[in-house]
Structure 1
Amino acid sequence: YTEEFDRKKLESLSNTIHIGESKQISICDAMKQMDNLLDKTFWYDRTVFEIISGGMSIAELARKTNISYYSLYFTYKRVKDLIKNNIEWD
């Protein structure tokens, strides 16, 4: 489970952060920073982000939980933007 989740987190991170030529960061450091940021978020935000990043669609999660699609979408987007804006570049 941990190895699969780490692989999914890495894919999510690479989809969230587009590393340009002028901005280089080691993937290991970025994952540590992402974990630290997720630890500081509310459990609900973190859980929604991890489930959707793990491969479940927002629509599927909305159907299974009876939580509004838009609520889940904006929660996911907020956490994704938090990560994107707070990764410290070398």
Structure 2
Amino acid sequence: MALQSMAQAPFRVVDEINQGMDPRNERMVHERMVEIACREHTSQYFLITPKLLTGLRYDERMRVLCIASGEHMPAAEDANKLDFGNLVKIQQGLVASAA
């Protein structure tokens, strides 16, 4: 990340940067990446990872895309069982009730 100002690129792909990190360092790197990626006139960033810690900071200018595929996914006729919008509402309800 320190050398990114040396090379211009329209986008950057970060693949599993958190692999093998302890939670403290993973949070620190994620925070730094959000800070860099959300600046004006910077590259677009794509973070690819199978998992992230809970409670990370996100910027309103960020978009989180969850791609669900693989052999353990519901069949097409059961696709409504994996409704991410509904899962987000459930999570928000759980957070609100815990507060």
State the TM-score, normalized to the length of structure 1: 0.27
Query: Whose strand fraction is larger, Structure 1's or Structure 2's?
Result: 2
Higher helix share: 1
**Which structure would you say has the larger Rg?**
2
Q: Which has the higher contact order (CA 8 A, sep 6+)?
A: 1
